[in-house]
Amino acid sequence: MTPGPKPHEAQSLRSDAERNRGRILAAARTVFERDGLGASMASVAREAGVGIATLFRHFGAKEDLIAAVFADRMDAYVTAVGEALDTPDPWAGFTGFIEAICAMQATDRGFADVLTTTFPAAEGLEERRAAASQGFLELVDRAKDSGQLREDFASQDLVLLLVANAGVVAFAGDTVPDAWRRLVALVIQSFQAPARGPLPAAPADDALYEAMLRAGAASIASRERGSIT
């Protein structure tokens, strides 16, 4: 029987593995922030200076890597809801939350994508998303009860804003880095009561969820197969 590694060798292997995992996470943050979730696993491996096989030993699927990279950002997303709910003025809490998360999108293209996609297998990430969504519904109710948010505002309108903001962030890049601020200001003004006019019906929840699923699947599949070899 082949003897196993000696204790000091085993410790060295664990240390190497931990270092590689840290390098992969740091590289993924850089790549996803710069290129969005469509960046390939091969590009992350190159940035980390490891082989693609090493990357997949640590993260068996791209979804696993995305969940690990953005766990802290999703925690910040939930925290932002809590801080908004603690704001005494309902309108200030509502608008402050929208501005905060759109700013988070603007500083991280990958997170801009995360907020407009869904990854059912990444349970921790989706639990945070659900917690933030529940808090946002409370913000909406408070703002409507105060008479400051138009009555026909729907929670789906936030998803549409985040999709639009992600598009502006990707389009403007470093050339016009603050373009998103004008978009968000214009949209927030349109949310305020009294309403200036009627709106078309909001998209159905299940249809929006299907669109987010499709976007997530596209991000996972994007450029992967041709990049691994």
- Claim to verify: residue 49 and residue 74 sit in the same structural domain: no
CATH number of the domain that residue 15 is part of: 1.10.10.60
For residue 5, what pLDDT band results from cuts at 50, 70 and 90? low
Clarify whether residues 38 and 52 are in a common domain: yes
Same domain, 54 and 75: no
Q: Is residue 36 part of a domain?
A: yes
Is residue 228 a part of any domain in this protein? no
Confidence of residue 229 (pLDDT cuts 50, 70, 90): very low
| Structural domain total, the chain | 2
Residues 64 and 87 in one domain: no
109-159 pLDDT, tens digit per residue, is: 889 888 888 888 888 888 999 999 999 999 999 999 999 999 999 999 999
Same domain flag for 58 and 120: no
Q: Residue 87 phi/psi, 5° resolution? A: -75, 125
pTM of the predicted model as reported, rounded to 2 decimal places: 0.82
- List CB contacts of 17: < 8 A, sequence separation 6 or more: 58
DSSP code string of 35-101: H-TTS-HHHHHHHHT--HHHHHHH-SSHHHHHHHHTHHHHHHHHHHHHHHHT-SSHHHHHHHHHHHH
Secondary structure string (H, E, C) spanning 168-226: HHHHHCCCCCCHHHHHHHHHHHHHECCCCCCCCCCCCHHHHHHHHHHHHHHHHHCCCCC
**Which CATH number covers residue 94?**
1.10.357
Query: How far from 40 is each of 44, 116, 167, 184, CA to CA, in Å?
Result: 7, 19, 20, 30
Structural domain that includes position 141: 70-221
Give the SS3 label for residue 33: helix
pLDDT tens-digit map of 173-228: 889 999 999 999 999 999 999 998 899 999 998 998 899 888 888 877 754 543 44
* 226 inside domain: no
Residue 3 within any structural domain of the chain? no
- Residue ending a domain, choose from 68, 87, 114: 68
